[in-house]
Structure 1
């Protein structure tokens, strides 16, 4: 089942190529782009593994300790690192892992198992499908919203945006610019307006116009600010009053370059607004992409989208297998 399959329209004529052929062609190019985007993280984490394994024919405690240090310095996080290393240590003790090459495959499997959480969209008959997007300023929240809107629109869905970041006039203007680029409507009010009122108006408007998807921007002041979290909680309460299952998604946008700071952001947002998914941006500019392993492991919240570039198409639904394969593929 495709990531957006619950939204698929049945009245479209079939293209000359089958959808499977199109998806196969697109996936080859996407994998290469993903591999390039992950190259810095891969070089740090997987390249570091290969350096540790170099010239060694058996697994000893020194090797495992070096791996432990590598994972921690690659921003995987202390708790997740200990969990991964303890698991492979037990396999070594049971003699089921005997060589560094087998150990590398076991580590790859451990990372895949952590990231491979169901990230399908919530099944609902509600329309619009309400997505609330949260995150601190500078993570790429607004551009990610625009990229998601383009993806939904390409699925044949009537998509609308809500300018819920009323704290900054520039945020409203920026969202409107992106909406023009992808040709979707925006519901907005003036700067300083009540954010929850904007979301309320947007849901009402989308109901009246029979829109399929509503993506809501929100303020991005520091996650430690109590007033921001209260504002987000109010937005969610308003959405729930309008639609039985809303919000259907609460997505946190995280900047991959922020490493362990991303974990503290994710923990705080999840405590206050119960995240349903993560959007990981700026993967192409960092060696700290390993932080997402620890975040998913600790919160048990799936990655739903990943971004690795400034282009409008540089945000894609997350696939754990593709991600881990690209991470461990160090061939040029």
Structure 2
């Protein structure tokens, strides 16, 4: 993982993150100063950032918001203080309300981003300066250490060409913690079509089949916030009991992101939270599915069913039966 250290210094009122990357300084600089690349990693998993303003000049400002899978929102703004390409820049970082005004009761902080060559790649040193010990403690208590680590650890996927990053890796499963799993798969096709393939019943029935021998016989989808969906699979040869899943759409931001609940049909068991994001680069689309399980036991039980293998079979069909048509 890129992040090598996150330290607090109560005496000097600082929080410092250090991360190393196998990419030149100029490439890392570009990732932090292009808002479309920055928003791919600035928010931690499940809280992606969207930058609505980005005036990258001394005295200019940037505004962004992050939205959780359940629709909670956090907003922030930067005032650019100093810019020294490609060695670094500094900002005044402020929590904002829905109207873009500073949020009462929350601190403003000076953040310094420094980039330097290191071990054939580059090193980021990000130091945040606080005005009081209380402000430092408040920010740490809000999860700044964990959140910033998870966020910056996503940067490797941004620094590489998308195809180079995903080449030959198929469907990848990463255990982020006891209850969160991230699944990624590159699809050779445009994001709009990949989005449609996830939400239109006639397209879903062409690819979301899992292992050979199964058919998706029911695909009912109301892809609106508050809408519901239901899937049911049957085995071609019979003799094996069918199964299904159902849930509700919580968040829809077409064609970029959708969040749904999911539980097995006909059961009262706990549901998962499925956060689907699509990112397109040069005609290829990276699918990222962040799954939140109710507990570690449920996570391990579902992964042990061979879920990732079934998803890879389905994604392969997505490319061959839908995207290539």
Structure with a larger share of its residues in helix: 1
Structure with a larger share of its residues in strand: 2
Question: Which structure is richer in relative contact order (CA contacts within 8 A, separation 6 or more)?
Answer: 1
TM exceeding 0.5: no
| TM-score for both structures, normalised by structure 2 | 0.29
| TM-score for both structures, normalised by structure 1 | 0.28
